[in-house]
Amino acid sequence: MFATGNSHKLGEARAILGPVGIEVESYSGPEPKETGTSFLENALIKARAAFEATGVPAFADDSGICVEVMGGAPGIFSAIWSGGRDDKTNRDLLLAQMQDIAPENRAASFVCTIAYVSEETEISFTGVWPGHLAMTASGDHGFGYDPVFIPEGFEISAAELEPEIKNSLSHRYMALMQMRQYFADPTA
Ligand code: IMP
């Protein structure tokens, strides 16, 4: 069961796991405070809260964009970078903070850590999608920082990629595929 109140994350998880025969149920209960200092700690907080509330094994995603010259920020604060949760305001602030940084120094990556919690297990999986920060926003697909993130190997933003392409390359795809692999063979 996927513990998330984020419909974009849920849609992507369904699009990624559906084709490999995994149905994703969602749980959206009271959101625990994300008091962790890493993607892993926050993912664990969310997955544990859902498991404790429902008794059903749960996984949660903590993710964000990490900009190299900003020391990895916004990182775990991506969703609230401008103080609020508005995607456009968050993106605009990040672009403004980076406006004097030349294209060659704009390396950034999306990071997704998935934590899975059950009675027997606590385990995590992390996916990293490398690329760089655009100078301006473009594209209508996706969510969050997709319009300002140019994935490695592309010259267009993640929001200009067809969703199927994003969902076969992204940080979330990589973390979810690791989880799928683990369930296929927990000893591997
Ligand atoms: P969380 O809900 O605390 O994990 O915050 C995740 C935040 O990171 C989102 O609100 C987005 O701003 C950003 N983010 C995570 N994954 C993506 C993605 O796939 N595309 C664009 N932004 C993302």
Question: Catalytic: 62?
Answer: yes
SS3 62: strand
Rounded CA gap, 151 and 131, in Å?
A: 4
Beta strands in the chain (DSSP E): 2-3, 26-27, 58-67, 107-117, 122-133, 149-151
Q: How far apart are CA 105 and CA 38, in angstroms?
A: 24
Q: Whose CA is nearest to atom 7 of ligand 1?
A: 79
Q: Where does 7-184 sit in CATH, by number?
A: 3.90.950.10
User: Domain residues of the chain, as ranges?
Assistant: 7-184
Instruction: Answer whether 6 contacts ligand 1 (Cβ < 6 A).
Output: yes
pLDDT for res 46: 97
Write the pLDDT tens digit of every residue in 4-51. Answer: 999 999 999 999 998 888 889 999 989 899 999 999 999 999 999 999
The ligand 1 atom at the shortest distance from the C-alpha of residue 12 is 19
Would the pLDDT of 188 be above 80? no
What predicted TM-score, i.e. pTM, was given to this entire model? 0.96
What phi and psi, each to the nearest 5 degrees, are found at residue 121?
-135, 145
The residue to mutate among 46, 129, 140, 145, having the most atoms of ligand 1 within 8 angstroms of its beta carbon, is: 145
Residue range 108-163, pLDDT digits in tens: 999 999 999 999 999 999 999 999 999 999 999 999 999 999 999 999 999 999 99
| Segment 176-185 mean pLDDT | 91
Catalytic residue (one of 62, 87, 100, 185): 62
| Structure tokens, 120 | 């027997």
pLDDT at 179: 94
Tell me the average pLDDT across 49-64: 96
Q: Tokens standing for 72?
A: 């990895």
Report the helix count and the strand count for the chain, using DSSP H and E.
5, 6
Regarding predicted confidence, which is higher, 81 or 29?
A: 81
